Each structure stands twice: as C-alpha cells, then as structure tokens.
Structure 1
Amino acid sequence: MPKFLNTRRAVSELEDLIRNANEKLILVSPYLKLSKDFKELLQFRNSKDKITTIIFGKQELNPDEMKFLQGLRFVILKYYDDLHAKCYLNDDTMIITSLNLYEFSMANNKEMGVLIKKDDTADSCLFEEALNEVDYINQNSKRFEVGSSKSSYVKQTFSKPSERVDSRTANVNSKSTGYCIRTGSEIPFNPERPLSYEAFQVWNQFGDIDYPERFCHFSGEQSKGETSVRRPILYKNWQKARGYNVAL
C-alpha cells in the first residue's frame, strides 16, 4: 500500500528514485532549483545516456539552473502553463508530494507525500491512474528551447510501410536498408520514416521530433542521442545520404 513520507523521507526517497531509474525518469515540478546532490544524480544518469524528462511550470527560473540542465544532452525540458502538481516517477516507483524540486523547499519547508510502487498489488491501480495523468501533462507540455520561455513541438504521422508509397519514397531507391533510430533494427531506408512501426507507436504517444534517439538511420551505428525524428542521420553521414537522392 502507499507509504507516507515526511519531508526528510520524501527527499531521501526522491534521491533513490532518480538513482535507481532505468529507462524512464519523469520529474514534474513547478519550480526548478536543484541541490548539489540532485545535480550530481542527473549528471550521472546523463553520463549513462539515459533520458530524463523534466516538466516545469514557472518561467522565473534561475539562469544558472537552466544553463546546467540545458548542458545535459539527455535531459528534455518541457513547459506546462499553470502547472502546480509535483510528481516524480521512474519505471516502477512514483512519489506524489508537496515537495518541489527546489532546494529551499527541501531544506526549510514542512512537506508530505506518498510513495507508490507499481509492483505492489495494493498500489498498481493508483500507479496507473497517476501515470495516465502524468502522460497527459507530458503530451500537452511544450518543449523548452534556449532563449524561449515557451516553444511547441510538432507531431508527424507515420504509417505501416505497406500502407503508403509516395514519390519521395520511390526516389530513395539506391539504398534499400535503413535502421530504426530507436531500436537499431533494419527497416526500409527513408529519412521521413526513421522508426519501425512498433517504435513509432511508442514515440507517437508524445510526438516529440527532437527526442534523442540511439541509432543512425543511415548507418545503424549508435548515435548517443545525436539523432532524432527531425535529424535521423548523424551529421558525419549527411553527405553520404545525400548521394542517395535524400533531401536533408
């Protein structure tokens, strides 16, 4: 069943949640002013090429804080207007709390929260309901870009390869094999559709064309986050790709 957290335990459990996160880490908090310990945890995760999504709601952000976060290649910053919720989750653990990702709040305020475990049968329904709300916030948040308080992202539509063949696809006939930028699996070479159908179904939940991916669509080599739906081919391979009549 959900576990009650006071201020000290909320901070401790949040540190463990970030440290133990595998593929998923989403941090939802209006304010961002991270302590030294939290910055070190995010830096460590970033060094492992693991993606962290941070959703915030206040534009009055410390410039040094934003500079630090924007310097982490695998941290995605998103803005949601009027956000007041505070929720932190990884693959199997979630904390819903009054605690902000704000150093003053952690050190001076009296906070409370609950810890929810996905694998605990008494928590599983609550975890899924809260996860759906986080997914809704994430999907309706706007990608934060340098020099802009708000910016939007664009959704693209993909179809199964057998469902549509247009003139652009037909022109890409000198290279038949490409690679899914998320899984590395072989797919037809087409920079307009650099995801396998299955990977696209997952990507399309949020539709973020700048979301860092793992492989180069042209060569299949690991890209370490330097590829995305917008830029599916590593920069060093652009000239080679252009040789196959691909407009980049």
Structure 2
Amino acid sequence: MAKFINTRKAVSEIEDLIKNAGEKLILVSPYLKLSKDFKELLTYRNSKDKITTVIFGKQALNPDEMKFLQELRFVILKFNEDLHAKCYVNDDKMVITSLNLYAFSMANNKEMGVLIDKNDSVDKQLFEDAMKEVDYINQTSQRFDFGGPKIAHSNNPTENKTNNTKQTNNKSKKTGYCIRTGIEIPFNIDKPFSYDAFKKWNEFSDPNYPEKFCHFSGEPSNGETSANKPIMKKNWKKAHEIHGL
C-alpha cells in the first residue's frame, strides 16, 4: 500500500525512480533547479536514448539550467503557468509530494509525501487514477521554447490572441504522420495518432505498443515506434533540428 515518506526519503525515492525508469519518466515540479546528482541521473538516462518529460512552471529557468536541458536531446520540457502539483512517475512507481525538484528545497525544507507502487495490488487503482491526472497536465502544458516567447504574456488581450493565432498557424504547417496508419497529421510527438487511430489505441492505452510508422518521416518503422517513442531513433536528430524538440 502507499507509503509515507519524509524529505530525505522523498529525495532518495525520486532518485531511484529516475535511475530505474524504463520507457516512461515524467517529472512534474513547479520550481526547477536541479542538483548535481539529479543532473547526472538525467544525463545518464539521456545517454540511453530514453525520453524524459519535465513539466514546470512559476519561475523562469536560469541560463545554466537552460543550457543543461538544451543539451539533453531526449528531454521534453513543458511549461504550465498554473502548475502547483509535484509528482514524479516512471513505469511502476510514483511519488506525490510537497517537494519541488529544486536543490534548495531538497537540502533545507521540511517536506512529506507518499510513494505509490503500481505493482502492489492495493496501489494499482490509486496509481492509475493519479496517472490520469498526470496525463492531463502533460497534454494541457505547452512545449517550452528556450527562446522564451511562448511563455511571455502581454497585458493586451488582442496581442495575446494574435500571438496565439500565429503559433497555431505555424504548428499546423508542420506535417507529421500517424504512427499506426501512416496518414499525414499535424506534427506533435504528444499526439502522434490520427483521431481514429487514437480511439483504437485508447482501448488499451499501451504507450509501448509497437506501431508501424515514424511520426517524423512517415516511413515504416517495423515496430520501432510507439506512443512513447513516435520517432525512429535514426530520425531523432533531424527532427530535433527541424522542430526544435
């Protein structure tokens, strides 16, 4: 069953959660300033070509943090200005806590939280319910632009509306391919299915189920792609350059 954890235990469990993550790793933290140990963990995971999604908000990244994250090509960074939740999840475990992924908090604050294990039958439903909310936060957060304009907000509603329209138009011009059917769809690695294909996939919602096509190139992937990895490994660098992933 879910276990209570204090500050020290929370830090330790989050470290293990990152280190032992398989295909899935989502880190949700309003404030983001990584310690040396956590940078090493993310660098190690990145070297294994495994995608990590980091969702943050509330505070702009400092230049050193930005430079570090930019260099990790398998890290997807997202911004949500309304974010207050702190949650860290891999394929099997989840930590929900008051602890931000912030070096000062980990070293100085008094925090608490709970550890949930999907493989524990008592925790399974709790894990799945919490995962639905994590997925919702992920889907409603916007991809972070390291240049900054995507999270800049004007006091002029008309200007904001114009900027949003421009961004939407630009996104719509980026062509991707459904990883199940191969048909053309807007490029979005968080939504690599056509509507009909997504409805079929959603019956089981297996993020690692082998799919047939590369979302970036449209070429047959022979099972190399999945909802978790919609782009073939050989195409990731080019996709990163073109789409700013």
TM-score relative to the length of structure 1: 0.68
**1:86-137 deviation line (CA, Å, top 9, x unaligned):** 0000011000001110000000011111000111111111111111111111
Alignment match, 1:145 = 145
In structure 1, the gaps of 5 or more residues are 157-179, 206-212, 233-248
Displaced runs of 4 or more, over 2 A: 149-156, 190-203, 213-222, 224-232
Tell me if the contact between 2:31 and 2:100 (Cα under 8 Å) persists in the aligned partners: yes
Specify the SS of the correspondent of 1:150. helix
Q: Equivalences for 1:48-87 in 2 at 5 Å?
A: 48-87=48-87
Specify the SS of the correspondent of 1:65. helix
- What count of residue pairs does the alignment treat as equivalent? 197
| Equivalent AA in structure 1 for residue 236 of structure 2 | G
Specify the SS of the correspondent of 1:225. helix
Alignment match, 2:157 = none
**1:145-183 deviation line (CA, Å, top 9, x unaligned):** 121153588687xxxxxxxxxxxxxxxxxxxxxxx786x
- Return closer, same or farther for 1:200/1:28 CA change in 2, 3 Å cut-off: farther
Alignment match, 1:113 = 113
User: Please, what is the CA RMSD of the aligned residues?
Assistant: 3.4
Tell me if the contact between 1:181 and 1:227 (Cα under 8 Å) persists in the aligned partners: no
Distance in 2, Cα, partners of 1:199 & 1:53: 25
Distance in 2, Cα, partners of 1:111 & 1:142: 28
Tell me if the contact between 2:178 and 2:194 (Cα under 8 Å) persists in the aligned partners: no
Tell me if the contact between 1:5 and 1:114 (Cα under 8 Å) persists in the aligned partners: yes
Tell me if the contact between 2:32 and 2:61 (Cα under 8 Å) persists in the aligned partners: yes
Alignment match, 1:225 = 236
Tell me if the contact between 2:25 and 2:53 (Cα under 8 Å) persists in the aligned partners: yes
**1:62-81 deviation line (CA, Å, top 9, x unaligned):** 22111111211010110111
Q: Equivalences for 1:1-248 in 2 at 5 Å?
A: 1-148=1-148, 150=150, 192=185, 201=198, 216-218=217-219, 222-223=233-234, 225-226=236-237
Distance in 2, Cα, partners of 1:79 & 1:197: 25
Specify the SS of the correspondent of 1:30. coil
State percent identity of aligned pairs. 60
- Return closer, same or farther for 1:126/1:219 CA change in 2, 3 Å cut-off: closer
| Equivalent AA in structure 2 for residue 106 of structure 1 | M
Specify the SS of the correspondent of 1:116. strand
Tell me if the contact between 1:31 and 1:102 (Cα under 8 Å) persists in the aligned partners: yes
Tell me if the contact between 1:98 and 1:112 (Cα under 8 Å) persists in the aligned partners: yes
**1:31-64 deviation line (CA, Å, top 9, x unaligned):** 1110111001100111111100000012332221
